[in-house]
């Protein structure tokens, strides 16, 4: 048995898009294996290497490191068509995955009818009931997983008898259910889907294996694992701003089940958050700025969705929500992103408490209706005008930016170890203080 290695995870502390892709890519230089354990193609993780930008949805972001093995765990909702497209796009750009990708035979498959159902349920919902999903079929796929009767896992997809006999029945039943639910005939051709399933099986089959055993062996051999969280803690199915959440466990608590490793595997939890807050889709957002300042942050930070291109809602840093999600995941260190985006603001705000029905609290309410009534209590800090893009260490930052970081760290209660001042790998300060 090899020497005990320390394993880490990168998780988003907000409502997604915190910059997890950049941090995973950065840290992967020190890891042997990167593992996705939740979500699916709703994720959009950006990695910038020199003048090249990659947006990864199902492929773990660490795959861009040649020596790193990448695993898609059992907890991922896997859309085969989307994954194959991603692999092909990378190959066209000269990036081969070279047998380094392994897919869990237990992962559930996102089928075309899941995407149709996701899209129609959103468009049919009354405006106040919409979640604002990414329409990637995530909710319907996880619902089938829990309901079980019609669920399809990667191991099923690889089984020719299943594809020929059971799959046509499932697709026909789902077509009928959609017709009854929404009254229109969904565009679902049973024979074409069976054909596609065969192609998916041929393309992805060689990568499918028991990743639980693979990870156990890797750990026993002293290899270091980095778990890549998708979405963000505030979108967690149990602990997020329900029902305006995604359908998986997005916190570090999702790792043991979603990856198939023992609960105490991860000792280092890197929580990623921006120097401000963003959200895409519906749901409460206490610190949202619906004025010119919010627009200014969006334009400076290029806050448009990586997966859907939707403009992201922007607001000041929410210390109440971030402290909540940091504690939920047992965060040991913070990667603070987009500090450069705030250059040029006269003042920058931090929400230190919520005022709800006349009472002040610094605890996150567990009920979304209560959260919707919360008013932010802002503490304003003087801004800085200097560009931070070329900063290499804390000393290169203006005093006001340093004071801002100190205050964020104090409020969240977790040390900031990385500060990001631009999208590229090199635009990162490592703090040892
Ligand atoms: P993820 O889903 O958490 O991986 O984040 P996304 O990739 O969806 O969104 C983060 C966006 O911010 C991407 O376009 C990144 O290239 C960009 N980004 C990451 N860190 C920084 C930073 O420190 N400064 C700036 N200006 N952009 C950043
Ligand atoms: P990454 O990994 C931002 C949001 C959607 C919607 C809600 C439910 O790039 O940070 P879903 O399609 O999952 O049923 O949508 O969750 N959402 C994300 N927002 N980044 C993501 O992923 C997200 N994944 C889901 O916008 O509000
Ligand atoms: Mg994203």
Q: Within this chain, do residues 92 and 139 fall inside the same structural domain, yes or no?
A: no
Closest C-alpha residue for ligand 2 atom 5: 133
pLDDT in tens, 402-428: 999 999 999 999 999 999 999 999 999
pLDDT tier for residue 75 given thresholds of 50, 70 and 90? very high
Q: Confirm or reject: Cβ of 246 under 6 Å from ligand 2.
A: yes
Closest C-alpha residue for ligand 1 atom 25: 422
Angle at 51 between CA 49 and CA 54, to 5 degrees: 55
Domain CATH code at residue 405: 3.90.170.10
Q: Within this chain, do residues 325 and 369 fall inside the same structural domain, yes or no?
A: yes
Q: Within this chain, do residues 114 and 65 fall inside the same structural domain, yes or no?
A: no
pLDDT of the residue at 1: 41
Q: How many CB atoms lie within 10 A of CB 327?
A: 15
Question: With 0-12 CB in 10 A as exposed, 13-18 as middle and 19+ as buried, what is 207?
Answer: buried
Q: Confirm or reject: Cβ of 132 under 6 Å from ligand 2.
A: yes
Q: Within this chain, do residues 55 and 191 fall inside the same structural domain, yes or no?
A: no
Q: Within this chain, do residues 84 and 160 fall inside the same structural domain, yes or no?
A: no
Domain count, the chain: 3
pLDDT tier for residue 433 given thresholds of 50, 70 and 90? low
Q: Within this chain, do residues 348 and 387 fall inside the same structural domain, yes or no?
A: yes
Domain CATH code at residue 127: 1.10.300.10
Which range of residues forms the domain containing residue 218? 4-104+208-269
Q: Within this chain, do residues 121 and 159 fall inside the same structural domain, yes or no?
A: yes
Q: Within this chain, do residues 404 and 291 fall inside the same structural domain, yes or no?
A: yes
- Return the ligand 1 atom nearest residue 341 CA: 26
pLDDT in tens, 19-68: 999 999 999 999 999 999 999 999 999 999 999 999 999 999 999 999 99
Q: Confirm or reject: Cβ of 12 under 6 Å from ligand 2.
A: yes
Distance (Å) of CA 432 to CA 10, 110, 214, 271, 415: 19, 43, 34, 16, 9
- Return the ligand 1 atom nearest residue 427 CA: 23
Query: Residues 6 or more apart from 157 whose CB is under 8 A from it?
Result: 80, 109, 163, 197, 200, 201, 204
Q: Within this chain, do residues 243 and 279 fall inside the same structural domain, yes or no?
A: no
Taking residues 71-88, report their average pLDDT: 98
Q: Within this chain, do residues 223 and 259 fall inside the same structural domain, yes or no?
A: yes
What is the distance in A from the centroid of ligand 2 to the CA of 16?
Answer: 6
Q: Confirm or reject: Cβ of 241 under 6 Å from ligand 2.
A: no
- pTM higher than 0.85, yes or no? yes
Closest C-alpha residue for ligand 1 atom 16: 423
Q: Within this chain, do residues 231 and 293 fall inside the same structural domain, yes or no?
A: no
Q: Within this chain, do residues 287 and 311 fall inside the same structural domain, yes or no?
A: yes
pLDDT of the residue at 135: 96
Q: Confirm or reject: Cβ of 280 under 6 Å from ligand 2.
A: yes
Among 204, 235, 257, identify where a domain stops.
204
Domain CATH code at residue 83: 3.40.440.10
150 belongs to the catalytic site:
no
């Amino acid at each position: 048995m090899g020497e005990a290695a320390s394993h880490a995870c990168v998780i988003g502390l907000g409502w997604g898009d915190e910059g997890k892709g950049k941090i995973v890519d950065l840290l992967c230089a020190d890891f042997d294996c990167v593992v996705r354990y939740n979500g699916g193609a709703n994720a959009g993780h950006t990695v910038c290497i020199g003048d090249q930008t990659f947006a990864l949805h199902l492929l773990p972001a660490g795959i861009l490191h040649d020596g790193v093995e990448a695993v898609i765990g059992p907890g991922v909702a896997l859309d085969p068509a989307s994954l194959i497209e991603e692999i092909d796009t990378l190959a066209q750009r000269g990036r081969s995955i070279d047998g380094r990708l392994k897919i869990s035979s237990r992962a559930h498959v996102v089928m075309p009818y899941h995407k149709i159902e996701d899209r129609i349920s959103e468009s049919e919902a009354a405006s106040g009931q919409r979640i604002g999903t990414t329409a990637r079929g995530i909710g319907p796929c996880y619902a089938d997983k829990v309901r079980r009767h019609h669920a399809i896992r990667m191991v099923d997809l690889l089984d020719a008898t299943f594809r020929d006999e059971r799959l046509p029945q499932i697709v026909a039943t789902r077509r009928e259910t959609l017709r009854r639910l929404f009254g229109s005939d969904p565009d679902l051709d049973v024979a074409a889907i069976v054909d596609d399933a065969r192609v998916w099986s041929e393309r992805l089959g060689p990568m499918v294996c028991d990743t639980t055993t693979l990870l156990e062996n890797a750990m026993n051999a002293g290899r270091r694992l980095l778990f890549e969280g998708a979405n963000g803690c505030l979108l967690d199915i149990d602990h997020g701003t329900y029902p305006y959440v995604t359908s998986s466990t997005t916190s570090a608590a999702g790792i043991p089940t979603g990856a198939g490793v023992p609960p105490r595997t991860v000792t280092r939890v890197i929580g990623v958050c921006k120097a401000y807050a963003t959200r895409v889709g519906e749901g409460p957002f206490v610190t949202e700025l619906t004025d010119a300042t919010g627009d200014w942050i969006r334009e400076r930070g290029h806050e448009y969705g990586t997966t859907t291109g939707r403009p992201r809602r922007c607001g000041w840093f929410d210390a109440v929500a971030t402290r909540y999600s940091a504690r939920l995941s047992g965060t040991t260190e913070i990667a603070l992103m987009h500090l450069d985006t705030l250059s040029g603001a006269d003042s920058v705000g931090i929400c230190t408490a919520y005022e709800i029905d006349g009472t002040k609290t610094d605890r996150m309410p567990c009920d979304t209706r209560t959260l919707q009534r919360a008013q932010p209590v802002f503490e304003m800090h003087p801004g800085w005008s200097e560009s931070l893009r070329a900063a290499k260490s804390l000393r290169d930052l203006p005093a006001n930016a340093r004071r801002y970081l100190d205050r964020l760290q104090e409020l969240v209660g977790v040390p900031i170890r990385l500060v990001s001042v631009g999208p590229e790998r090199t635009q990162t300060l490592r703090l040892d203080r």
